[in-house]
Structure 1
Amino acid sequence: MNPLPVRFGALCLGLVLLAAGCGGDGDAASPAGQTLRYVAVGAPATAIHDPHGGIGNQSDLTRFALLYDVLAKPGPNGVTEPRLATSFEPDEKLTTWTIRLRQGVTFTDGRPVRAADALFSLRRIHAKAAENFGRLQMFDMDAARVVGDHTLELVTTRPYAEVPRALESMTFVIPEGTTAFDKPVVGSGPYRMVGGNAQNAVLERNDRWWGAKPPTRRIEIRAVPDPQARAQAVISGQADVASSVNPATVRQVSGDRNLKIVHRPAVTMYPFVMRLDREPFDDPRVREAIKLAADRRELVDKVFLGYGKVGNDLLTPADPSSPADVPQRTRDLARAKELLRQAGHGDGLELKLATTTSYPGMDTAATLFARQLGQAGITVRVTNEPPDTYWTKVFAQRDFYTGFFGGIPFIDVARVSLLGDAPTNETAWKRPDWDAAHWKAMAIRDEAERRRALGTLQRELRDEGGYVVWGVGDGLDLTSAQVSGLPDGPGFDSAFIERVRLGG
């Protein structure tokens, strides 16, 4: 995400759209018909209408999840929850998958949703891999085909047992042949867009939707990059939901009967990222020393204010495949200094650590970590980079910087950041043996056995990789007391807000 600095002073005018005004719309007196005003993380200047490329704004993702159907979404405990798709059936080799879709589904313009529309959308996502981190790179889309009005066949480039989870990702379905994306595209989701723009959208309930009728007639979504501005919008009554607010704000408003906090447990990480192909991080002794110098409890207490838990350098601790029997890494300054001496840095080491303010506490984490490293003989200069360019000029480019992960599954992290040919291999983790073991695991049909194999890969990454995962923070959303039904799952699940209601 690429948030931009904003002032709160003009927020009311932009937040409440069209006829609504800052006092709400004429339908607001009826609890069942109230307008839900939702402020989400997002930079207005980068808001988009294309659901298939790179989606950098949470505001865009949330809007797309309301406008378009997806094949599946994340469910509890790592289980895939079908949406537009009703079944995923593999062949014996786990390379050809038959996917059946719901019947009787229509786009908002009345056209039926067909397998051809789904395949068109998947092929377009695949073609835009350079923008969306290779979201569907495991598929051979030239070999995919439609086998019926509501059935399609997908072929993977090699055995891949996790196809349902791969299709939980942003598989937004649009009509076959769509070419214009300068305005909202027709969808078949629970809402349709009736006004505003990509930065400040007005959506109304789609009464043709196949699912349970959403309880709220209208939802307005506003892209607001500053977490304090988002929170203040709810506190002042100008919005009903603010996503991803500061822990400090949560602490300040606790006890206010007019407000509620929705916790999404252990979904936010700000790992410190080291590139293995650049000095001094190409030396495993330096990487281990930096991990050992981290006071993880202090970081969690001061960055997340206790709304989280200590990390153990595992990138996806909530994933079902994450190993649970790994000893907790604790601070050991003596060992860290000895490792630095062995690596030729006994007289000290100087580093530059980049950070930003895109998410609450990223800058605090970097400043605190720099002080902790100083106690091990490592001098760190922290540079606070502009949030609007951080994810294009710092992420996956600098030697040492503050990263972000938001609760995505391990197989997605591997695809995006770990495999040798991953589109954003930010740590230069390129190990052919690790890649081979990953693909071998993905060919295991038995789920429990496959998870154990993936867990072994995560142990190796923890011990030898370039991530310092010092803690995992809760996602914190602020709402008015009248809001209920806000999702509290990690990652993509948090975008599905069609069950949110006002007035109990």
Structure 2
Amino acid sequence: MHETSATPSPGAPGAHRFPGLGRRGFLAAGGAAGLGALAGCAGTPPDAPGKGDGAPRRGGRLRAAFAGGGAGETLDPHLANLFADVARAKALYDKLADYGPDLSARPRLAASWEPDAGLTRWQVTLREAVFHDGRPVTAQDVLHSYRRITDPEKAFRARASLEPLDLRASRALGPRTLEFVLKRPTAEFPNVLAAFGAYIVPEGAADFDRAPVGSGPFRFVSFAPGRSTVLARNDAYWDGAPHLDELEFVVANEESARVGALLGGQVEYAHELNPATARAHEGRGRIVIVRLRNSAMQSFVMKTDRPPFDDPRVRQAFFLIADREELVNGALSGAGEIGNDLFGKGYEYYASGLPQRQQDIGRARALLKEAGAEGLRVTLDTSPVAAGFTEAATVFRDQAAKAGVTVTVRTGSKDSYWKDILDSGTLASYRSGAMPIESHISQRLLTDSTTNATRWRHKDFDALYRQAQSTRDPGERAAVYTRMQRRLHAEGGFLVWGFADWIIGCARNVRGVDAEAPANSLDWARFDRVWLA
């Protein structure tokens, strides 16, 4: 393990203050003295931090606990995969665009974008922004960043998302103006700019762990992989200087460690709590629970290319077997809302007008009989790899029995589960974080999609996606997406039974945490708008 450090600002903490704070260290500090100090914070906490608390205050240090990646962690934003990586990258760097609460693209370093008539060339104008070393953010920096991400010798996360770009033909038209040339018409090109991991770094940037330079709201102070990252306010940030003087990311891999640190006053923000923890602490005055709605799709995938789910009548029967309310209550402890067999509830283009599907055991039995699948036996693959997976599998097993279907639950390894379910089996537990509906379709539901877990492969469906991407008018494009979703609702392979809350815990003096932002969106884990009361 190594520690790197820049010259800290006056009073900035060194990363050595949290040497090896694991589960034992955090929980040891969570006793009565810590709880008493926390409960003594002034004021009654609102339902969500930052609501109705007056003008923000400047100053102070916020410590945020995230699960980490051990000694192999890096501050290279193009390698960000874990939630901790993304939160650090968001604090240090910026993208040309990012996702709003409805997962539509919002301008960030890009002040504007404008397509040509054919949607194959987009002109992007950058806003005036500077890197932490004082250099302006230029069009050349953007091209350098995107070419680095798409290097075929590397495995950067955003590489696939930038695939529509022809970066050899794309060019700088001036210091802050670019022309992006695309391989095909792409109406949702702003989603490319907002892609996860598509951060802008200075041309020539190399030493990301010892001297990272971005244009984000916080600048680098120190980094101890697997332990702590300390950042300081960037007063020259284009979107306004943060309220906090300092921000520290503390690694705590176990949820119990994050909760113990929060209760003990060692951190002010704890990421990713489970529903049982939230229920135990919500409304009791010690900490504030923030629920980020519609953050994770919860579903079962039915492999549409193999028996029994190659028959759409069997898929329709399984849609009707599910009691979604019971699944949300049983698997998520009620921390979510029911789904309707479509991804992206509440997001841009979501087909909210389709009727909510209800359990109908009689109709399910009739469909199975019609398909010659009476007495059907299937194996449901699941794993404790994600919250609620094994619980949902058990609940659905019991629901299926009412329709004469025998479901055998097979629990797999956490380490290999995600790879296994893409390659084998017929029915499996599945979840997805927030992303635009267009991205969900392009990555998971086209014939050549690389993560097509349901094996949904239909050339006419692919053609509708191309039609949507070549349709300039947003209303007409939305109508095409609705047609696609209507078909998925009728016979697709995703049985989407719910949408889980993403749960955050905060100290009572934390304000400005946005409760309207799903995980993966711009305002999730965004600390430049947070302050300490």
Q: TM-score range by the shorter chain?
A: 0.7 to 0.9
| C-alpha deviation, 1:70, in angstroms | 1.0
Q: Please point out which of 517, 526, 531 is paired with 1:497.
A: 526
Which AA in structure 2 matches 1:498? F
Distance of 2:76 and 2:85 partners within structure 1: 9
| C-alpha deviation, 1:225, in angstroms | 4.2
* 1:20-72 Cα distance to aligned partner (Å, 9 max, x none): xxx9xxxxxxx74322111234443664433224x431111111011111111
Structure 2 SS opposite 1:244: strand
Structure 2 SS opposite 1:192: strand
| C-alpha deviation, 1:11, in angstroms | 4.2
Matched, 1:296 2:324: yes
* 1:359-404 Cα distance to aligned partner (Å, 9 max, x none): x323222222222223323333333334344334445655332212
Distance of 1:385 and 1:56 partners within structure 2: 23
User: Residues 162-311 of structure 1 correspond to what in structure 2 (within 5 A)?
Assistant: 162-170=188-196, 171-179=198-206, 185-199=212-226, 200-311=228-339
Distance of 2:465 and 2:218 partners within structure 1: 39
Structure 2 SS opposite 1:453: helix
Q: Please point out which of 26, 33, 37 is paired with 2:63.
A: 37
Which AA in structure 1 matches 2:202? P
Distance of 2:485 and 2:447 partners within structure 1: 15
For 1:119, the equivalent position in structure 2 comes to 143
Which AA in structure 1 matches 2:404? G
* 1:331-379 Cα distance to aligned partner (Å, 9 max, x none): 1222222333333332331313222243x32322222222222332333
Point out the more displaced range, 401-410 or 299-308.
299-308
Structure 2 SS opposite 1:203: strand
Q: Please point out which of 92, 116, 130 is paired with 1:106.
A: 130
Q: Tell me the TM-score normalized by structure 2.
A: 0.83
For 2:23, the equivalent position in structure 1 comes to 8
Distance of 1:268 and 1:334 partners within structure 2: 30
For 1:19, the equivalent position in structure 2 comes to none
Distance of 1:228 and 1:311 partners within structure 2: 29
CA contact (8 A) 2:97 2:194 kept: yes
CA contact (8 A) 1:43 1:57 kept: yes
Which AA in structure 1 matches 2:460? D
| C-alpha deviation, 1:279, in angstroms | 2.7
Point out the more displaced range, 135-144 or 339-348.
339-348
Q: Please point out which of 490, 495, 519 is paired with 1:463.
A: 490
CA contact (8 A) 1:395 1:403 kept: no
Q: Please point out which of 370, 380, 401 is paired with 2:407.
A: 380
Q: Please point out which of 445, 470, 475 is paired with 1:418.
A: 445
CA contact (8 A) 2:375 2:406 kept: no
Distance of 2:254 and 2:423 partners within structure 1: 23
Matched, 1:73 2:98: yes
Percent sequence identity over matched residues? 36
Distance of 2:377 and 2:239 partners within structure 1: 58
| C-alpha deviation, 1:309, in angstroms | 1.8
Distance of 1:452 and 1:277 partners within structure 2: 28
Which AA in structure 2 matches 1:499? D
Q: Please point out which of 316, 321, 343 is paired with 2:371.
A: 343
Distance of 1:66 and 1:396 partners within structure 2: 37
Distance of 1:51 and 1:396 partners within structure 2: 30
Task: Decide whether aligned partners of structure 1 residues 411 and 369 sit closer, same or farther in structure 2, where only a CA change above 3 A counts.
Answer: same
CA contact (8 A) 2:126 2:176 kept: yes
* 1:396-440 Cα distance to aligned partner (Å, 9 max, x none): 655332212222110111122112222211211111111111111
Which AA in structure 2 matches 1:136? L
Matched, 1:323 2:351: yes
Which AA in structure 2 matches 1:503? L
Distance of 2:423 and 2:242 partners within structure 1: 40
CA contact (8 A) 1:355 1:366 kept: no
| C-alpha deviation, 1:76, in angstroms | 4.5
Matched, 1:148 2:174: yes
Point out the more displaced range, 478-487 or 489-498.
489-498
Distance of 1:41 and 1:371 partners within structure 2: 34
Q: Please point out which of 364, 369, 381 is paired with 2:396.
A: 369
| C-alpha deviation, 1:267, in angstroms | 2.0
For 2:18, the equivalent position in structure 1 comes to none
Kindly tell me the number of residue pairs found equivalent between the two proteins. Answer: 483
Structure 2 SS opposite 1:340: helix
Task: Decide whether aligned partners of structure 1 residues 202 and 392 sit closer, same or farther in structure 2, where only a CA change above 3 A counts.
Answer: farther
* CA-based RMSD: 2.7
| C-alpha deviation, 1:173, in angstroms | 0.4
CA contact (8 A) 2:268 2:506 kept: yes
CA contact (8 A) 1:67 1:193 kept: yes
CA contact (8 A) 1:355 1:382 kept: no
Distance of 1:462 and 1:217 partners within structure 2: 49
Task: Decide whether aligned partners of structure 1 residues 252 and 453 sit closer, same or farther in structure 2, where only a CA change above 3 A counts.
Answer: same
Task: Decide whether aligned partners of structure 1 residues 425 and 77 sit closer, same or farther in structure 2, where only a CA change above 3 A counts.
Answer: closer
| C-alpha deviation, 1:181, in angstroms | 5.3
Distance of 2:383 and 2:523 partners within structure 1: 25
Structure 2: which 5+ runs fail to align? 1-20, 31-36, 38-56
CA contact (8 A) 2:380 2:427 kept: yes
Distance of 2:93 and 2:293 partners within structure 1: 27
Structure 1 SS opposite 2:85: helix
| C-alpha deviation, 1:481, in angstroms | 0.8
Structure 1: which 5+ runs fail to align? 1-5, 16-22, 24-30
Task: Decide whether aligned partners of structure 1 residues 401 and 236 sit closer, same or farther in structure 2, where only a CA change above 3 A counts.
Answer: farther
CA contact (8 A) 1:61 1:495 kept: no
Which AA in structure 2 matches 1:269? M
Q: Please point out which of 432, 452, 456 is paired with 1:429.
A: 456
